[in-house]
């Protein structure tokens, strides 16, 4: 927040922001209007992760044992860590490339398809092994008390694989200024998962509930993959016809 205030102060003072927008002259007011979603949308979007963890933890603790909840978060964080690290690295590289392509008047959708293919070829063998072996590897590496975590890891693998694909190209929403619909999709994903936990937690066995959450989140991630390609293709069509 402090950094945002520091960066925002010159804007309020009316100083000009010097940037190369292909030799176009933008006022601070015009720049803020054009990129206001970076402030008003991305900030609450960043809070979704916090709400996800706290909300799911609250509802799971209400309906299930500490051992089951602990196994879920152990498995989730263990699998999510490499997904996040690799996805973040690809995110940065992809962002730079498509920003350059856009500024150069090139096509974005082919790059989206290329990254999907590369990430699928990289991730599919790894996630397949996780799905097949985690039930035996977890108790072998971490001890018998984490056997449930291994089972849950196997169940959640499709969800994390599709998340792996979607996160790699999610920066397209920044380049094409589509943060607002991306925020709505994130809210929908969180609402669906919390809703399933709230309404079905009382009479649903824990592993079955993880199946439900995996199906819901996998469908949302698949929708994200489709939507990222859709907005890229529509942008390319407008660029070609312009």
Number of neighbours of residue 87 by Cβ within 10 angstroms: 22
pLDDT at 51: 72
Instruction: Find the largest Cα–Cα distance for the chain.
Output: 64
Structure tokens at 115: 């990254």
| Per-residue model confidence as pLDDT tens digits over 53-99 | 788 888 999 999 999 999 999 999 998 888 888 888 888 899 999 99
CB 193 within 8 A of CB 214: no
CB 164 within 8 A of CB 83: yes
Instruction: Say which range, 39-48, 147-156, 168-177, 204-213, has the weakest mean pLDDT.
Output: 39-48
Average pLDDT value over all residues in the chain:
82
pLDDT at 1: 42
Structure tokens at 75: 């498995």
Single pTM value for the model:
0.79
| Per-residue model confidence as pLDDT tens digits over 127-160 | 999 999 999 999 999 999 999 999 999 999 999 9
Judge whether residue 10 has pLDDT over 50: no
The arithmetic mean of pLDDT across residues 2-26, rounded, is 43
pLDDT at 194: 92
| Per-residue model confidence as pLDDT tens digits over 185-239 | 988 998 999 999 998 888 899 999 999 999 999 999 999 999 999 999 999 998 8
Dihedral sign, CA of 24, 29, 33, 36?
A: positive
Judge whether residue 13 has pLDDT over 60: no
Number of neighbours of residue 76 by Cβ within 10 angstroms: 19
């Amino acid at each position: 927040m402090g950094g945002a205030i520091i960066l925002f102060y010159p804007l309020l003072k009316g100083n000009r922001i010097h940037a190369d927008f292909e030799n176009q002259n933008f006022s601070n007011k015009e720049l803020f209007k054009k990129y206001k979603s970076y402030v008003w949308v991305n900030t609450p979007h960043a809070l979704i992760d916090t709400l996800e963890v706290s909300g799911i933890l609250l509802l799971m603790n209400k309906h299930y044992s500490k051992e089951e909840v602990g196994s879920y978060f152990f498995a989730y964080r263990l699998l999510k860590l490499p997904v996040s690290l690799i996805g973040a690295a690809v995110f940065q590289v992809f962002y730079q490339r498509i920003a350059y392509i856009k500024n150069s008047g090139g096509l974005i959708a082919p790059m989206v398809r290329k990254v999907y293919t590369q990430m699928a070829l990289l991730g599919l063998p790894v996630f397949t092994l996780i799905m097949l072996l985690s039930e035996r590897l977890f108790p072998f590496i971490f001890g018998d008390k984490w056997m449930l975590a291994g089972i849950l890891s196997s169940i959640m693998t499709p969800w994390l694989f599709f998340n792996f694909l979607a996160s790699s190209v999610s920066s397209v929403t920044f380049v094409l200024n589509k943060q607002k619909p991306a925020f709505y999709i994130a809210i929908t994903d969180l609402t669906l998962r919390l809703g399933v936990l709230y309404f079905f937690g009382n009479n649903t066995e824990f592993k079955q509930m993880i199946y439900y959450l995996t199906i819901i989140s996998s469908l949302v991630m698949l929708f994200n993959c489709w939507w990222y390609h859709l907005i890229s293709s529509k942008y390319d069509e407008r660029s070609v016809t312009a």
